[in-house]
Structure 1
């Protein structure tokens, strides 16, 4: 359906492109490992905690969108890591890879031939794919802005 394609293309642009902000990929690109766990004075989170929060929240929205029996983590502790820094480089890379993979999986839900972007989920209160896509885009954009702000505070932004 052409109308659905236009909406899906717009949602993909919100999820993948910078628009008025930098992309998540650009915000974390080239970040020195020693700064990933630094929490600047006056701020509650390190970049690692923000990245993990994005990963956990996006995974939660994806699973909620495709699995009626999925149970979300408890709020807020289930959405924020306690550790301020990744355990190692592999943990950092795994988190970034999962964000990319889960986003691609969510986009595949949007692009499915039988996708009805506005059909309410049987297990939600008015939630549907369109709403969840906008939620991922908004949430990621907001916290990506925080990552950029922390990088600036740490002198690690271009």
Structure 2
């Protein structure tokens, strides 16, 4: 049975995942970037906007699927989490990746909001992880790499 603070915790997690709070959102970081810059790696950076977008998408997808299914198999680290290509095949590939990221984030939010989800129960097939831990991991990972995407955009002169 959920305690009286369970609903508040769930909503705090959802806000952490979906709202700006103290940083830029994913939507802020990807909106308005011109396709000519998707594959550009600015001086002083390691990755292009495309590589960061794809890494965000793949890692979040992996965490969501791990949280939902003990049969899920994660990609091999690190090569399975980072695209080799600096640029997407075309603008449609970029848009598809953005949509997939948003879809998977929505899936995690639904999992968190579902009162049947025990946020504290160990995830079957894991080694002690809980849905609460995985939600916090997504928030932390996304904030870090969205920040990198903002920095890359600044270095490319495409922010603000």
The question of 1:94 aligning with 2:89 is answered no
The residue that corresponds to 1:29 in the other structure is 31
What does the per-residue CA deviation read over 1:71-114, in whole Å, with 9 as the maximum and x for residues that have no partner? 10000000000011111111011000001100111111111121
SS at match of 1:107: helix
SS at match of 1:110: helix
SS at match of 2:108: helix
Work out whether residues 43 and 155 of structure 2, in 8 Å CA contact, stay in contact via their aligned partners in 1: no
CA distance in 1, matches of 2:81, 2:48: 14
The residue that corresponds to 1:72 in the other structure is 74
The question of 1:128 aligning with 2:117 is answered no
After TM superposition, where is structure 1 displaced by more than 2 Å over at least 4 residues in a row?
A: none
SS at match of 1:55: helix
Offset at residue 123 of structure 1 (A): 1.2
Offset at residue 69 of structure 1 (A): 1.0
What does the per-residue CA deviation read over 1:23-80, in whole Å, with 9 as the maximum and x for residues that have no partner? 0100111001101100112321101000000000000001101110111000000000
- Which consecutive residues of structure 1, in runs of 5 or more, have no partner in the other structure? none
Q: TM-score, normalised by structure 2?
A: 0.96
What does the per-residue CA deviation read over 1:108-153, in whole Å, with 9 as the maximum and x for residues that have no partner? 1111121110101121111011000000000010000001101111
**Aligned ranges 1:36-55 → 2 under 5 Å:** 36-55=38-57
- Which consecutive residues of structure 2, in runs of 5 or more, have no partner in the other structure? none
CA distance in 1, matches of 2:115, 2:87: 41
SS at match of 1:150: helix
The residue that corresponds to 2:84 in the other structure is 82
CA distance in 2, matches of 1:145, 1:74: 24
The residue that corresponds to 2:13 in the other structure is 11
Q: TM-score, normalised by structure 1?
A: 0.97
